[in-house]
Amino acid sequence: MARDVYDALPAAREVIRAADDILGYRLSTLMFEGPEEELTETANAQPAIFTASVAMLRCATLPQDVAFVAGHSVGEYSALVAAGCLTFEDGLRLVRERGRLMSEAGTDAPGGMLAVLGLEDGAIEEACASVSPLTACAANYNAPGQTIVSGEEAALEAVTAALKARGAKRVLRLNVSAAFHSPIMAAAAAKLDEAIERTPLAAPRWPVIGNVSAEPLHTEDDVRRELAAQIAAPVRWEASVRRMITGGAKRLIEIGPGRVLTGLAKRIEPSVEALHVSDLESPRGVAV
């Protein structure tokens, strides 16, 4: 993860070395060498994704007429760095705490997540409600025909059957350690709120489309409320992308490891231009 930009670009190297210093351990070694099962643990994966995203951001040549910024789940923190609302250093400390608390919540209340393909949101929500009093809910509204469901361990088998009975084409268990973006994360959200309140923020230089509301965040208070609510609430990504497009965005640029959001953007609105900054081979004119 991010090894090519680290080796080639001083700005990326500076960010990743700073992360090692702030965290007090060699995150860079995990990012570059693994082992993968350790890197993908929630407490490590979130700081790694955030650090790699900001490293690539520092090396990107962006348009002057930015209309909005947005980030999916933990990506919202790097979006806030891009908007000048949050420093990298403070953001990394928050992301580390976020990952720790979410991992802890998963240990206290075991659960998981399911990718649901080919089923409308309303039918998914009905399936989740049908397993009550067990906890299952839509967690990521990613794109038409692709929604993620979170649930406690005891609910996952039942909700899988309910989803298939309503016509889901596929229901796939994701390799994650907990039921993220669900009420199971409520205790983690309350504890994270304390850290958020202690963190300096500035008003975003560009509107940030929040995961929870899919509407622009303009002030420090808006951002604090968003971050406190976000880990226990669904990510409304499809609505967020549509909000940027209806608000005037003509081109969407994904910055960070991987190209998942670029693919989602094309599913949400096939006519939109979507690019990615994920490595040294990223499109000319977008990345250095």
Report how far residue 128's alpha carbon sits from residue 143's, in angstroms, rounded to the nearest whole number. Answer: 18
Residue 179: Cβ-neighbour burial (10 angstroms; 0-12, 13-18, 19+): buried
Options 53, 73, 78, 240, the catalytic residue: 73
Contacts of 42 (CB under 8 A, 6+ apart): 99, 102, 103, 106, 176, 177, 178
**Active site includes 276?**
no
Name the 3-class secondary structure at 70.
strand
Contacts of 122 (CB under 8 A, 6+ apart): none
**Active site includes 181?**
yes
Options 103, 181, 182, 282, the catalytic residue: 181
- Cβ count within 10 A of residue 248: 9
Q: Could you list the active site residues?
A: 73, 181
